[in-house]
Amino acid sequence: MSASKKLRKTSLFEVHKASGARFTGFAGFELPARYTELKAEHRAVRERAGLFDVSHMGVISLEGDLALQATQLVTTNDASKLKDGKCQYTLICNESGGVIDDTVLYRINKESYFFCVNGSSKDKVFLWFREKLKDLKNLVVTDKSSELALIALQGPLSERILQKICKADLSELKYYSFTSTTLDGVEVIISRTGYTGEDGFELYLPNDSAKGVWEMIMASGKEFGILPAGLGARDTLRQEMGFPLYGQELDEETSPLEASLKKFVSFKKGDFFGKSALEKELREGVKKRLIAIELIDSGIARAGANILEDGKVIGKVTSGTFSPTLERAIALGYIDNDRASSKSPDKDKERKISVEIRGKTRRVVLVKRPFYKKPKAS
């Protein structure tokens, strides 16, 4: 239970500690796993709002007249489609088409982009950019991660909470857009992005302002029932949406096509790292496919559990949890491509698929992602 001494602390560590957080090690940081109960935090985000410290995430910028060209080379999505102030989900692949990281790209202007990268990937992404882009003239690659804190405000009431303390008109800020503004004099970048399936914002701000802004948002959200939320809830929220997590569903041995992320790969744009490997994979077919399963029997399938069909191992679970909203066990995993979901959900239901949990087989059913669909507001 004790955290390793090597773990770094975010600039909000003392704030979390004072709130009674239980910490866990993640991506080299000591981060709140939960403050009270995971389910309560999860529910707060689905119904009202939750505030997350995600300062373990990294920020890497590409600046210079060749910034767009550089970005196109190291990403799979078409960055030329991005306008100033817009974000784009994209992937950074190696030459074999394996995923080095999945990331959100921000375009400040045509000579200035930055990536929000996963905490566990930021060092290798930085080195990859430096190495692969070294011949591009006047291109500056900067790892800004240690200067910045990153806070995510997520949930249907996020706009009302943040608008109270923010001068910019947030109703004008569309999904996957961002703006530079000030919160009580603090310079922040606010993007309408997130990892929970709910409306919400992510705020990039200097470390020394993090505590003040965190407390300001908590105070503003008090009347709306905001809760600080930990990594535990962040994980159950993203799993309910079927979002991949780097290190679980994505790694350098897995391609975007296998992870059902083809729509974030532009084969029409110019060359990029991994393109020819991915084109080959497109022609010849993938080896495995990401699938979503729900357990019919009791138990929770965790990462590493075998997935079986007709007594034969056909794949492995990569993430699994108990969904607080659906109140049943859900999991993501990969199965051999020739066993992948058919086009017909009814046929999938008839298949006898199971997972192995502690030596026992438990029946599961293949389902479509997301597991959780938000009810339409009436």
Partner 1 sequence: MEFPDNVKYTKEHEWVREEDGAVVIGITDYAQDSLGDVVYVELPEEGSTVTREETYGVVESVKAVSDLYAPVSGTVLEVNEAIVDSPEVINDEPYGEAWMLKIELSDSSELGDLLSVDEYKKFVEEEN
Q: Which is nearer to partner 1, 68 or 300 (CB)?
A: 300
Under the binding rule (CB under 8 A), the answer on residue 4 touching partner 1 is no
Q: Which is nearer to partner 1, 185 or 359 (CB)?
A: 359
Q: Which is nearer to partner 1, 71 or 236 (CB)?
A: 236
233: left (phi over 0), alpha (psi -120 to 50) or beta: alpha
One-letter amino acid of 82? L
Under the binding rule (CB under 8 A), the answer on residue 14 touching partner 1 is no
Helix (H, G, I), strand (E, B) or coil at 242: coil
Supply 315's token pair: 């794949």
Under the binding rule (CB under 8 A), the answer on residue 203 touching partner 1 is no
Under the binding rule (CB under 8 A), the answer on residue 319 touching partner 1 is no
Q: How far is the CB of 42 from partner 1 (least distance, A)?
A: 8
CA dist 177 to 51, 207, 212, 296, Å?
19, 23, 24, 40
Pseudo-torsion of CA 81, 120, 13, 143, nearest 10°?
-60
Among positions 19-78, residues that touch partner 1 (CB under 8 A) are: 33-34, 37-39
Supply 290's token pair: 């990401």
Under the binding rule (CB under 8 A), the answer on residue 302 touching partner 1 is yes
Under the binding rule (CB under 8 A), the answer on residue 297 touching partner 1 is no
Q: How many residues does the chain have?
A: 378
Name which position in 197, 228, 232, 244 contacts partner 1 (CB under 8 A).
Answer: 232
Q: Which of 357, 358, 312 is nearest to 335 (CA)?
A: 312
Stretch (H or E) spanning 151 = strand 148-154
> What does DSSP assign to residue 164?
T
Under the binding rule (CB under 8 A), the answer on residue 137 touching partner 1 is no
Under the binding rule (CB under 8 A), the answer on residue 254 touching partner 1 is no
Name which position in 321, 335, 339, 366 contacts partner 1 (CB under 8 A).
Answer: 321
Under the binding rule (CB under 8 A), the answer on residue 322 touching partner 1 is yes
Give the sign of the dihedral formed by CA 42, CA 47, CA 51, CA 57.
Answer: positive
Alpha-carbon span 320 to 203, nearest angstrom: 29
- Relative to beta strand 288-295, strand 328-336 is antiparallel
Q: Which is nearer to partner 1, 215 or 297 (CB)?
A: 297
CB of 281 closer than 8 Å to CB of 325: no
Q: Which is nearer to partner 1, 196 or 236 (CB)?
A: 236
Among positions 331-370, residues that touch partner 1 (CB under 8 A) are: 358
Q: How far is the CB of 371 from partner 1 (least distance, A)?
A: 14
Q: Which is nearer to partner 1, 32 or 256 (CB)?
A: 32
Q: How far is the CB of 229 from partner 1 (least distance, A)?
A: 13
Under the binding rule (CB under 8 A), the answer on residue 196 touching partner 1 is no
Stretch (H or E) spanning 332 = strand 328-336
Binding site for partner 1 (CB under 8 A): 1, 33-34, 37-39, 232, 235-236, 298-300, 302, 321-322, 324, 329, 358
